[in-house]
Structure 1
Amino acid sequence: MTGTADPADGARRAVLAGAPVEERRLRPAGVPTAVLEGGDGPPMVLLHGPGEFAAGWLPVLPDLVRTHRVVVPDLPGHGASGVPDGPLDADLVLRWLGELVEQTCPSPPALVGRVVGGAVGARFAADHPGALDGLVLVDALGLAGFDPDPRFALAMHRFLGRPDADSYHRFMEFCAFDLDRVRERLGGRWEPFAAYAVERAGDPGVQAAMGALIGHFAATAIPADVLDRIDVPTTLIWGRHDLATPLRVAERAATRHGWPLHVIDGAGDDPVLDRPEEFLHALRTALALPVPGATS
């Protein structure tokens, strides 16, 4: 087995410092996996996007851990998670997710997946009836072939071709609707967050894992008849200004499958970073979650 990051990495530690979660290591499906866990209550699993890591969910974790047991892994080959020596194929990823759920969730969890995490979640829900309590797809890939706005694609390829602070900043300007606002909200976490993202993107193993996940789950659309097999309540949450997977993709999927769609104004492809309060409101609505601190 090969790992992809030193768990004592300074930037990673700085990002996670003070977060309302604990980090531990598991090996679902034989994949060395870094997992953030926190809170009590019904289980909820959060899956991040390609080339990212679990800390992308930090803006909403303080609220979610007040009502749920939240499980946030680094996807295989991402962040501090490793990959097996063999190929990272779709069967392995789905088996990894199934064993992760078994090892961390005492009952079927709500699964919230963003971008490629959404595509993985949709495939898992379709293939594992009864394994989940609900599914939320956030700016998910897999509902159409991956065909981003040319500006987004160019910035992404430049960043992956030469990961550094400048190319990351330029790429994030196309991911976020208001990058300055994102940086201000993250405060002292922003610099280590960006540094860790750049470091990971420069690792050939991370790039290979990202390519494998997109190739297996998102390069082409998941067939509609496969999505029709999803047997749990499913909701779409979408940034209105998503340049990777435009809103019209979500609108078509909502109409085709009868899934409710919540559109987040002032957000790109990552409403968790852009508009965490609005995202939380949409998520609570989608899963009928209580508002922490509210009284009846």
Structure 2
Amino acid sequence: MVDPGAAAWTLGCLSAGRAKRMIDRRGFAGSVALGAVLASTRASAMTGFITPPDTVWTGGGVVGRAGGRLRYVTLGDKGTAPPLVLLHKLGGWVADWRDVAPALAKGRQVIAFDLPGHGASHWLGTPPAVQTVVETAGLLLGALQEMGLAQVDLAGTSLGGCVAVAMAAIAPERVRRLALPSCVLGPASTQEQVAAKEAGQASMFTPDGDPLPVDAEVARGVFGLINAERIGAEQNASRKQAGRWIRPHERGVAYTDFVSLMRRVSAPTLLLYGERDGFFLKYQAGAEAAFRDVRSIVMSGVSGFPVQDNPVDTARAIDRFLA
């Protein structure tokens, strides 16, 4: 089985200059301005994070949670529609969504989170062996409550989509609509199945669990990527940033029975897939059968990483659904 972590091909992190000027709602310095990570990314002396050369986000901050801090960024002004919360893929960070967010931030505010242990969301101590999806969903729901957001729309891809499903199942009154581009939504795996899968991932991780660079051609073949070289370089940067948090989150996804969670979701749900994809599409039929109120789209000429590889098509589909 192909590692869903191989779908963590993401972009950008902190812009030190803007981070100095931005203050979050609690008065701490907000590390917020994100953008594209290029092959020539450099480390920021102020933050220790990779600094991209350009940004799209206009605000943000951090929200303290037990054991750590969740970093978020924002774009657009608060409108009549609920805010749209964007959640990135496994091994990614908020800039996954940088090319999609501007089209969705019209008449509403867009908020993108770094998931625990990813990007600039810091957690204390050694990563756990398993970071459960429901645990991560609870952290985000708590953060949204603290930010005063009673109801939101959610869009998540890969790991972010899995967390979004859990959020909608746990707190249906908090989620108005749910958009899921390319997500692994299947039954729970056994410990034996997870161990066997990890044994086959020797080329992707060190024995200590640190991610190793992945050849872009692997993703081109499996996910049908159009911009494989660019996305591959960005993926290796974002995975390195997430480090030993990748496997705990991946195990959390594997051990989750998403069939049961999907059946509990009452929010209208959009499933998005790319016709070029050779991995996520196999979950389409099961997800269509499990959600109560679902529409499913396979986008022509689109890869398995639609948020990064095909942002125009992805933004258009999500915007129509939310409207």
- After TM superposition, the score normalised by the length of structure 1 is 0.76
1:163 equivalent to 2:163? Answer no
Which residue pairs with 1:100 in the alignment?
143
Q: 1:292 maps to which residue?
A: none
2:157 to 108, 114, 119: 114
The structure-2 alpha-carbon separation of the partners of 1:29 and 1:233, relative to structure 1 and needing over 3 Å to count, comes to: farther
Structure-2 separation of matches of 1:155 and 1:48: 25
Structure number having the greater helix percentage: 1
Contact 1:251 1:261 in 2 (8 A): no
Match of 2:131 among 65, 75, 89: 89
Question: Taking structure 1 as reference, are residues 176 and 89 closer, same or farther at Cα in structure 2, changes over 3 Å only?
Answer: closer
For the Cα contact (< 8 Å) 1:142–1:220, is it kept in 2?
no
How far does residue 125 in structure 1 lie from its aligned partner after superposition? 1.1
1:282 Cα offset (Å): 1.3
* Superposition deviation, residue 286 in structure 1: 2.0
Distance in structure 2 (CA, Å) of the matches to 1:242 and 1:157: 24
Give the Å deviation of 1:47.
Answer: 0.6
Deviation track 1:204-238 (CA, whole Å, cap 9, x = no partner) reads xx34322111211x214525333211121112111
Aligned pair in 2 of structure 1 residues 142, 76: CA closer, same or farther (>3 Å)? same
Distance 1:155 1:25, change over 3 A: farther
**Contact 1:43/1:107 (<8 A) preserved:** no
The corresponding residue for 1:67 is: 107
| Superposition deviation, residue 248 in structure 1 | 3.3
Determine the C-alpha separation between the residues in 1 that align with 2:219 and 2:110: 26
Q: CA RMSD in A?
A: 3.1
SS at match of 1:27: strand
Helix, strand or coil at the partner of 2:163: helix
Q: Match for residue 279 of structure 1?
A: 314
Superposition deviation, residue 249 in structure 1: 1.5
Q: Does 2:251 match 1:209?
A: no
Structure 1 Cα separation of the partners of residues 200 and 99 of structure 2? 24
1:238-280 per-position Cα deviation (integer Å, ceiling 9, x unaligned): 12233332x2321232134351101122222211122212112
2:85 aligns with: 45
Contact 2:14 2:51 in 1 (8 A): no
**Whole-angstrom distance in 2 between the partners of 1:78 and 1:232:** 27
Q: Is residue 2:95 matched to residue 1:55?
A: yes
**Residue in structure 2 matched with residue 250 of structure 1 by the alignment:** 284
Of 28-37 and 120-129, deviating more is 28-37
The residue matched to 1:261 in structure 2 has which SS? Answer: strand
Q: Is the 8 A contact 1:176 1:274 kept in 2?
A: no
Match of 1:14 among 52, 57, 60: 52
Pick the aligned partner of 1:31 from 62, 68, 75: 68
Partner of 1:149: none
Between stretches 97-106 and 261-270, larger displacement belongs to 97-106
Q: What is the rounded CA distance, in whole Å, between the counterparts of 1:263 and 1:64 in structure 2?
A: 20
Q: Matched residue of 2:72: which SS?
A: strand
- Listed as ranges, the matches of 1:213-292 within 5 Å are 213-216=249-252, 218-220=253-255, 222-245=257-280, 247-258=281-292, 259-288=294-323
**Alpha-carbon distance in structure 2 between the residues aligned to 1:267 and 1:160:** 29
TM-score, normalised to structure 2, is 0.70
Relative to structure 1, the CA distance from residue 156 to residue 262 in structure 2 (aligned partners, 3 Å threshold; closer, same or farther) is: farther
Q: Tell me the CA shift for residue 48 of structure 1.
A: 0.6
- State, as a whole percentage, how many aligned pairs show the same letter: 22
Task: Say whether 1:137 aligns with 2:175.
Answer: no
Q: How far off is 1:64 after superposition?
A: 1.5
Task: Note the C-alpha offset of 1:111.
Answer: 0.6
Query: 2: CA distance between counterparts of 1:65 and 1:194?
Result: 27
Distance 1:104 1:179, change over 3 A: farther
Instruction: Verify the 8 A CA contact 1:155 1:170 in the aligned structure 2.
Output: no
Equivalent residues, number: 262
| Paired AA for residue 53 in structure 1 | W
How far is the alpha carbon of 1:81 from its aligned partner?
1.4
Indicate conservation of the 8 Å contact 2:14/2:50, yes or no.
no
Could you say which residue in structure 2 is the equivalent of 1:294?
A: none
Distance in 2 between residues matched to 1:256 and 1:197, nearest whole Å: 31
The equivalent residue for 2:236 is: 198
CA-CA distance at 1:12 after TM superposition: 3.6
* Contact 2:262/2:287 (8 A) holds in 1: no
CA displacement at 1:110 relative to structure 2: 0.3
Q: Any stretches of 5+ residues in structure 1 without a counterpart?
A: 147-152, 184-189, 289-296
1:100 CA drift (Å): 2.1
